[in-house]
A and B are shown apart, each in its own frame.
Chain A
């Protein structure tokens, strides 16, 4: 059973489009992280959110932590080919629980 469900599982969009990835759970987390992983490499940390309702921006990426600290979203504005990769969310409980992943392909 996966504690964190991500949607969509796969996403293929044109360069310049906007997109949102969702990370949902019925469990409360003390913090939530988003990672991006490229083939042959380990996941790279993008952001950590801690407070319910928190919004963080990283250039064209906007991350939001749900008010109840059970879910999160990642919004990318004007996607670029360099955004291509596997996006993973991870919730912190007594261990880190990883989401099912969203594979994003941005077509030039």
Chain B
């Protein structure tokens, strides 16, 4: 069974630009969650999508947005990039029901210059 696939693996952008990250979940998984990981803050929850609807949202500004398609693939968009947005962005998928763990992709390393 293929795992969670995130593209691209690495990305370099400059301040003020915008970026779109992609996540393909494990086949059959309907829930996709996005996290930001930094050395200082650890894993911070961005949002979760389930069946194309945002089910939960973390405490991030509106510059961070996402969407999910009918095939469960998800994209995350960050607009007006800031230096502090440099991080590893992780996507995790799960069936979306109780007591079913999340499985992570290897992340997209975003660097803002």
Contacts and interface: CB of A to CB of B under 8 A. Distances in A.
Interface residues of B, number: 21
B64 interface: no
Contact of B43 (A30, A41, A98): A98
Contacts of A95: 33, 45, 48, 56, 58
Nearest to B105: A42
A92 B96 CA distance: 11
Interface of A: 2, 30-31, 33, 35, 40-45, 48, 50, 88, 90, 92, 94-101
Interface SS of A by simple majority = strand
B80 to A, nearest CB: 26
Contacts of B102: 33, 45, 90, 96
A42 B99 CA distance: 20
Interface in B81-113: 90, 92, 98-99, 101-107
B104 to A, nearest CB: 4
